[in-house]
Amino acid sequence: MTRDERELAWRRHQSHEFHQPSPDLAAHVARYWVVRWDYDRPYRQLVVPYPNVHLTFHGDAAVVAGVSSGHVSKELDGTGRVFGVAFRPGAFRPFLGAPVQSLTDRTVPAGTLFDHLPAHADVERVEAALRRNLPAPDPRAAEAVEIVERIARDPSMTRVDVLAREVGGSVRQLQRLFAEHVGVGPKWVIRRYRLREVTERMEAGGRIDWAALAADLGYADQPHFVRDFTAMVGETPTRYAERYGDALATGRR
């Protein structure tokens, strides 16, 4: 996809807010987010996935979006506002009442899963609605949440078999747990969080040795890393690094 020149200047067209959940909802919700935009012509926003299920409110529509297995693009035009709830990875199964994998790469009307949703979404109203829809505690969901958090915080974690040993199960058991509660497999989640290392290397500045980086992230070779990165992010690592550097330079002016 050809990049829009406005992407480097997105702060002129968009504003982003993030809010933490109240303590009684923190076991389920990672954060609330609000995006506002103002464009004089249509703009395609590329969205890079994480293993969160989202409840979003845009105009009169409220939808639940499952985990996206790859990057997606959203068209923004004119002025608009979206309020979103990012559920903790692994925590949505009790709300859904079905395997979270059944939502992967799909959206469903939020009214099919939640009652008493507000007409206008803000943190207070949405939290009140979530409290009215809280499911019973699910130990397996809590286990899935903890395992995803373990992956996220341990940059040395690059292999599913090692993760399975650490959590005291088999690879197959881990795959079943993730299909049921996360929506994507443990290998996908590991690679998504390890690809975050690329951004951190970019933020540090300087030249990036892509072959060494691929090895550090647990890839057998650089082409495999490039394929994974492109599928997830929407462009090659070198192009992303070039554009990211331009964006950082623009932001410092």
Mean pLDDT, residues 183-200: 89
Residue 110's region, left for phi above 0, alpha for psi from -120 to 50, else beta, is alpha
Whole-number Å distance between alpha carbons of 133 and 157: 35
Identify whether the C-beta of residue 222 lies closer than 8 Å to the C-beta of residue 182: no
Confidence class of residue 245 from pLDDT cuts 50, 70 and 90?
A: low
Angle, in degrees to the nearest 10, between helices 139-153 and 186-204: 30
Mean pLDDT, residues 122-128: 98
Whole-number Å distance between alpha carbons of 174 and 13: 42
Encoded tokens for 238: 């070198």
Mean pLDDT, residues 110-123: 96
pLDDT the model gives residue 252: 41
pTM for the structure as a whole:
0.89
Q: Show the domains of the chain with their CATH numbers.
A: 5-252 (1.10.10.60)
Whole-number Å distance between alpha carbons of 185 and 194: 14
Instruction: Count the neighbouring beta carbons within 10 Å of the beta carbon of residue 31.
Output: 15
Identify whether the C-beta of residue 47 lies closer than 8 Å to the C-beta of residue 74: yes
Residues 63-107 have pLDDT tens digits of 999 999 988 888 888 999 999 999 999 999 999 999 999 999 999
Across the chain, mean pLDDT equals: 89
For tokens 């959203």, the residue is 74
Whether 144 has a pLDDT exceeding 80, the answer reads yes
Mean pLDDT, residues 236-251: 66
Identify whether the C-beta of residue 126 lies closer than 8 Å to the C-beta of residue 83: yes
Confidence class of residue 1 from pLDDT cuts 50, 70 and 90?
A: very low
